[in-house]
Amino acid sequence: MISRMSARIGDAKSSVSAPVRLPATVPVPARAPGGRLAVFWNAFGFPLALREAFGAAYRRAFPGSPVGGIFARPAVEVYLSMCATAADGMRSAGGFGEPEQWRFEWERPYTRDEWLDVVPTFGGQSQLPASVLGAVLADMGAAIDAAGGGFTMSYTTVAATASRLARNEKENCSGT
């Protein structure tokens, strides 16, 4: 369970317990009245048998790494928590309307080779030693082969978004 998640906006680090400041590096549309700030993530929804096999592959190849544990529950649960944290940050930053959380579900089929080609591009995969990544890919390939040589990935895109308030709207919200 994630109890606290930090987020980065530009170079300013913040979390639920500290207000978010929008630095000049945030695009102008998000700073302009009526502009919209949106943060989003795409959560993988593996078929259960593959989710379990992929988690086991990471645990075998990289014992003690938290990566194997990521597969213990549906990823959308983790990303929805991050989305809620981002919405809390938008609220605490001030200057935004009430954040909304959006959710879009979609699917994409993968062949074994397509999936194995894309895995090294994810997150910290490029930081894994070649032998570890090779072992993970070999185990994933075997699991996909056992599932018929391909699978359909269910994705859920989750977003937290809020519109920038005009100056007079901010004053009305703060009571000044």
Q: From the centroid of its chain, how far is CA 172?
A: 34
**Predicted local distance difference test score (pLDDT) of residue 141:** 98
Convert the pLDDT of each residue in 32-91 to its tens digit.
778 888 999 999 999 999 999 999 999 999 888 777 778 888 889 888 999 999 999 999
Residue 155 lies in a domain: yes
Residue 10 lies in a domain: no
Domain of residue 77 covers 32-174
The vertex-175 CA angle with 96 and 33, nearest 5°, equals 30
Tell me how many domains the chain contains: 1
CA distance 109 to 147: 13
Angle, helix 48-61 to helix 130-146, in steps of 10 degrees: 150
Residue 13 lies in a domain: no
Contact 109, 152 (CB under 8 A): yes
CA distance 83 to 169: 25
Answering whether pTM is above 0.75, one says no
What is the pLDDT confidence band of residue 1, given thresholds at 50, 70 and 90?
very low
